[in-house]
Structures are given as C-alpha cells and as structure tokens.
Amino acid sequence: MSAIRYRSVSMTDLLEDFETKKEAIRDEVELHIKKRDEANAEAQKYAKLRDELNQKTHEMREQAKEKIAEKNDLIEKIKTLRDEKEVHYKNLSELKKNLREYKSSLGTGMDIKDIRTKEKELQYLEKRQQTTELKKEEENKIIVEIRRLTNEIKKSKTLREQELLKNDTIKELTDKINDERTKGEEYKKQIEEMSNRISQLSDEINDELQKLDEVRKEADEKHEVFIKYSQESEAEHAAFIKAKGELKDMEKAIFSIRNKTKVSRKKEKESELQERASELYEKFKAGEQLTTEDLLILQKAGFL
C-alpha cells in the first residue's frame, strides 16, 4: 500500500509540474501571437507607405515624361520655324537687293550722286573734328558745316524717298519687304518664346527627376523596413506553431497522467478495502461481533 501511495504522490507532483509548464507554454503561445500580430501590423503600415510612395513616383515619372515630350516637340517645332524664318529672311534680302537695283536704275529730280558726295564730305569733316587739334573758331565752323550737311542729306533722302514711293513698283517692293520683315520678326518672336519655354521645361524636368530619385529612395527604405517586420512576423508565427504543438503535447501528457492517477487512486482504495475486509473477516471467524458497517465492507470486498 505504501508503494501505491508513493506512486500517487509522485504522480501528483508530476501533474503539478506539468500544469506549471503548460501555463508557461500557454503564456509563450500568447506572447508569440502578440509579437506576430504587432510585427504584421508594422509590416502592413510600411507596405502602405511604400505603395503610396511608389504611386507617387509613378505619377511624378508620368509628369516628367509629359514635359520631356513637350520639350522634344518644341525642339522640333523650333527647327521647322528656323527653316521657315530663313526662307523669309532670304526673300527679304532678295527684295531689298531688287529695290536697290531698281532705285538705282531710275532717274529722279534728285541726283543720288550729289547725296553721296555730301555724305563723303560729312564723313571727312566728322573725322577731322575727332582726330585733328583745331582752333576754337575753326572747330566752330566745322561744327556748323557738319550740321548743314546732315540736314541737307536728310532732307534730300526724304525728298528722294517720297519721289520714289510715287512709283508703283517701288511701293510694291517696299510693301513686300515690310511684309517679309514682319513675318520674320514673328518667327523670331515665336522661336524666342519656345526657347524660353524649353529652358523652363529643362529646369522643371531636372528638379522633378531629382525629387523622383528622393521619393524612390524613400520608397526603397520603407520596403526594407516592411521586409524586416515581415520576417519578424513569420519568425514569431513559426515560434507560435511550435509552442502550440508543445502545448498540445503537454495537454496530452497531463490528460494521461490524470487518467493514471485516477486508476492509481482506485487501486489504492481497493487495496485499502481488501486490507480492512481481511481484518474484519479474521474477527468474524474469531466470533467477534461486527457492526452493520463492517458487514457491508465484507460484502463489498466479496467476503460475504
């Protein structure tokens, strides 16, 4: 009987020990679940930030592409405009040449040779005034003469132009020259505006590409953090699965110990009953008086 009691005590101690370990494993399971869920939440947070940044880089890249396309289109347009402008300036040069030749071929009341003679005389006097040391009186005479020649030349040219403009051919050529000059200036203005826009686009593209690199770098950093937390979450989940298996094994062991304890206690009670019944039976054979309870014990033990 003492051996059975010793075994029962050992089973009880073992059961208590297993129960303590089970609770520790259960706490470990809960801890792994908590850490796994926290790491997964962090991974999802950084995944969202990464995706938002990747979307931003996509939008910025598309904007940069649109500006690059606009810039390239403007470059091609400028090439075309420059070619067309050259055609107009070539026509303008040709028209000016025709006008000069036609004017020279015309006879007018104003002698062109006389105008040219006065221009040469004016140039001589201007050079003399600038390069020669003159007395005050002599310099004043030259100044007066320069003014006279300047006014006469201007007046003569004006009269000549007025006279020439009465000629239909000259008027037509002059109108064409003015038209070609206007068109050439318009082309020049368009080219200048497009060139300014190209410079502006180049600055904007460079700025946006630099910002794009910064955003892409930030997205990569967020992805690295996402991977870190994902790996932590996976590791905690694996530890959770392992601990959960250990918990199930421990629960099975505890269930087995409890069953064995019940069987041991039953055997212990049966042994005590048989021992008590044997003692009562010896008394019964010796003729001693037994109580009703004693008779029930003998009956339960199979002696009666």
Report d(CA 115, CA 70) in Å as an integer. Answer: 55
Q: What pLDDT, in 10s, does the model give residues 167-183?
A: 778 788 888 889 988 98
Which residues in 192-217 are b (16+ Cβ under 10 Å) and which e?
Answer: eebeeebeebeeebeebeeebeebbe
> Helix (H, G, I), strand (E, B), or coil: what is residue 286?
coil
Residue 10 has what pLDDT? Answer: 62
- Across the range 178-194, mean pLDDT stands at 91
Of 214, 219, 237, nearest in space to 48 by CA: 219
d(CA 185, CA 177): 12
User: What pLDDT is recorded for position 119?
Assistant: 83
**CB atoms < 10 A from the CB of 25, how many?**
19
Question: How confident is the model at residue 219, as a pLDDT?
Answer: 96
Cβ-proximal residues to 240 (8 Å cutoff; 6+ apart), any chain: 29, 32, 33, 36
| Residues near 291 by beta carbon (within 8 Å), at least 6 away in sequence | none
- Tokens read off for 3: 């051996």
pLDDT tens readout for residues 96-113: 888 888 777 765 444 567
Cα–Cα distance measured from residue 71 to residue 102, given in angstroms and rounded to the nearest whole number: 46
Which are the contacts of 298, defined by CB distance < 8 A and separation ≥ 6?
A: 277, 280, 281, 284, 290, 304
User: Which residues make Cβ contacts (< 8 Å) with residue 209, sequence separation at least 6?
Assistant: 64
Tell me, what amino acid is at 37? D
Q: Which residue has the tokens 């318009």?
A: 186
pLDDT score of 13 more than 80:
no
**Quick one: DSSP state of residue 132?**
S
Check residue 136 and give its pLDDT: 83
> Tokens 């590791």 — which residue?
235
Q: What is each CA distance from 44 to 47, 50, 215, in whole angstroms?
A: 5, 10, 19
